[in-house]
Chains A and B, each alone.
Chain A
Amino acid sequence: DVKVTQSSRYLVKRTGEKVFLECVQDMDHENMFWYRQDPGLGLRLIYFSYDVKMKEKGDIPEGYSVSREKKERFSLILESASTNQTSMYLCASTTLGAGGIYGYTFGSGTRLTVV
């Protein structure tokens, strides 16, 4: 089975901290995505990546950056955490050209609380 692993299920961070959310997939997928999920707003795309060292902004990239140094790992970085970044963060992956056909495989999510 394809596995997408997010390193933390729950995180509590202080305002202003730099926060790293890690995501690893074990199926050699080219495409990886970061979403945030908030009640009533659904899934909103933050950043995605088609290849190592490649990144593209999604719909809500402000306040976030990403890093993809290795194919299997896609990191989401909150440069200076703020309370409005309290949310559920979901990582997903899919193989090249297949996202619109077979869908994405999601991780279990990281619930981040910024205090």
Chain B
Amino acid sequence: GQQLNQSPQSMFIQEGEDVSMNCTSSSIFNTWLWYKQDPGEGPVLLIALYKAGELTSNGRLTAQFGITRKDSFLNISASIPSDVGIYFCAGSSQGGSEKLVFGKGTKLTVNP
């Protein structure tokens, strides 16, 4: 099945550093979503993006819907230990489509 290209696969950073990750697709998407999965838990929705160029924040998290509609970025500022986990991007090519396409995830480790 179709998957998004998400990078990097993993990141090891120091507390306080900023983090950036991205997802790309070969096709145009109408919706981009970013999830976080804490260790041993299911993914939880962080941010949803619906318009090309849209920039949306949720606390220290900021995500952008790329102008080409084929990519999206997630930035985390001033990382803290509880930011550890796996971050997934997901996209939909149709607004009402039932099925999302997921990236493989970025595993984030934050050293205190």
Contact = CB atoms under 8 A, between A and B. Distances in A.
A8 to B, nearest CB: 13
Interface in A85-115: 90, 92, 94, 96-109, 111
Contacts of A90: 42-43
A59 B1 contact: yes
B95 A101 contact: yes
B31 to A, nearest CB: 5
Interface residues of B, number: 30
Where chain B touches its partner, the secondary structure class is loop
Given A42-B104, A109-B40, A103 B35 contact: yes
Interface of B: 1, 3, 9, 30-31, 33, 35, 40-45, 48, 50, 88, 90, 92-100, 102-105
29 contacts: A31-B98, A40-B9, A41-B104, A42-B88, A42-B103, A42-B104, A48-B98, A50-B98, A58-B1, A90-B42, A94-B98, A96-B98, A97-B96, A99-B98, A99-B99, A100-B31, A100-B92, A100-B95, A100-B96, A101-B48, A101-B92, A101-B95, A101-B96, A103-B33, A103-B90, A106-B35, A107-B42, A109-B41, A111-B40
